[in-house]
Every structure is written in C-alpha cells, then in structure tokens.
Amino acid sequence: MTNLVKAERALTTQKVREEESQYLTFLLGKEMFAIGILSIKEIIEYGQVTSVPMMPSFVRGVINLRGQVVPVIDLQARFGRPSSLVGKRSCVVIIEIRLSPEQEQHVIGVLVDSVSEVLAIAPAQIEKAPQFGAKLRPDFISGMGKVDDKFVIILNVEKVLSVDELSALTERVEDSRQD
C-alpha cells in the first residue's frame, strides 16, 4: 500500500519534471535566485527572530512558526557573502526538506531580501551549472534557468540547507571559539 503511494508520488514528481516546473524567484542583494516550489511551505514576513548564541553568522536565529521552533538561515551569509540587511521587503521562506525517505522532515526558514514571483521554467530552458564564475559553490546550483534572456540561479536546496553540513559548521564555530 505504502509502496503504491510512493510509486504514485514518484510518478507525479516525474511528470512535473517532464513538463515544466514552477520556481519561486527571489532577490539576494541584486542577484536573482530560484527555488523549486514543491519544497516551499510558506512565506512569512521577517520578524521576532531570537538569535542563538555561539552560532555561525549564517544562522540568524530561531522563530516561532505556530508553536514550532524553526531555525532561520541567512542565505547571503551561507554563500560566504556579507549578511543580509533586514529591510521592509525582507521575508522568510519556510522550506520543508527531507534528505532521504527514512529521515524525518526538517523545516528551515531562509532569509531573503525580497520575494519576486513564481515562474514556470521548462526543462529545456534550464542549463547546466557553470563550473566556476557563479561565485557560488557549484554543488549549491542545480541549474541555470533562462528567463527573458537572463539567467536565474536555481538552488539545490538539499545541499544549501544540508542539516549535517550546517550542524557540523556550527560545531566548528564552537571549536574555534575555544582555541
């Protein structure tokens, strides 16, 4: 029974992939990025973030999402750039990721400077990630979407928000403080 459901689910995701997928585009600084819409749970206004001490700069803190405590990641800082300045249009995009079917689902918030729109991009319009030049770790990019003759970087959310990697990084911060 569960296998059936899984198979069906795989089928639908495949269908979506074959046809065109929808992406949420947003701005970080002046650059445009996109995230596949299927992993996005909701978008909320930035506010009431409690900072957690002894965390690397890319962890902005935690917020209360209707009773659930959710960490907020500063994408700019995660990409090794200066942290985002919070403005009027700053938003937190709430993302649900499951790294493997066995693992439980993680809910993580991502701080972006502003949310633009939802775009449909056909697979034919997506190019491979460049080996270098994007000023971004190549494994963070799942592809480059062509929109109006401009490129939008489609992020590989699983990699960018890899819980294992993030928590390893937070530990390293602690070590470096101790030394």
Partner 1 sequence: MNMEQAFQTFLAESAELLQDMEDKLLGLENCEDATESVNSIFRAVHTIKGSAGLFGLDDIVAFTHVVESVLDDVRSGSFVLDEQLINLLLQCKDYIGKMVDSIEGESVLMTAEDLQLQQALTNTLSGYLNKVHSTSPATMLVGINETDDYQSVSVIESDITIANENWHISVYFGVDVLRSGMDPLSFLRYLATLGTIVHIETVTDGMPSPEDMDAESCYLGYEINFHSNATKNQIEDVFEFVRDDCQLKILPPYAKASEFIAIIESIQTDELKLGEILLRCGTLTQRELDDLLHLQTSVKQGGTHRLIGEIVVADGLASSEVVTAALHKQAQGKKAKEKQAQTVRVDAEKLDHLINLIGELVIAGAGVESEAHLTGIGSLKESAQTMTRLVEEVRESALHLRMVQIGETFNRFQRVVRDVSKELGKDIDLQINGAETELDKTVIEKISDPLMHLVRNSIDHGIESPALRAERHKPVTGNVTLNAYHESGTIVIEVSDDGGGLNKDKILQKARANGLVSPDTELSAHEIYQLIFEAGFSTADAVSNISGRGVGMDVVRRNIEALRGTVEIDSEYTVGTTIRIRLPLTLAIIDGFMMKVGDVFYVLPLDIVEECIELNACHSEGQEGRHYINLRGEVLPFIRLGDYFCKSQRKAKRENIVVIKYGNLKAGFVVDELMGEFQTVIKPLGPLFERVPGISGSTILGSGEVALILDAASLIHLVMQRDGKAMSVAAQQSALH
Which parts of this chain interact with partner 1 (CB under 8 A)?
Answer: 48, 50-55, 59, 61-64, 67-71, 106, 108, 163, 166-167, 170-171, 174, 178
Q: How far is the CB of 66 from partner 1 (least distance, A)?
A: 9
- Give the type of residue at 162: S
Q: How far is the CB of 175 from partner 1 (least distance, A)?
A: 10
Q: How far is the CB of 117 from partner 1 (least distance, A)?
A: 29
Nearest CB to partner 1, comparing residues 71 and 143: 71
Nearest CB to partner 1, comparing residues 74 and 129: 74
The DSSP output letter for 53 is: T
8 Å CB contact between 97 and 39: yes
Nearest CB to partner 1, comparing residues 108 and 141: 108
CB atoms within 10 A of CB 101: 6
- How far is it, in rounded angstroms, from Cα 172 to Cα 169? 5
Q: How far is the CB of 88 from partner 1 (least distance, A)?
A: 20
- How far is it, in rounded angstroms, from Cα 107 to Cα 69? 9
Q: How far is the CB of 38 from partner 1 (least distance, A)?
A: 22
Sheet holding 106-112, edge to edge: 40-45, 91-97, 106-112, 68-74, 59-65
Nearest CB to partner 1, comparing residues 106 and 146: 106
Nearest CB to partner 1, comparing residues 35 and 59: 59
The DSSP output letter for 46 is: -
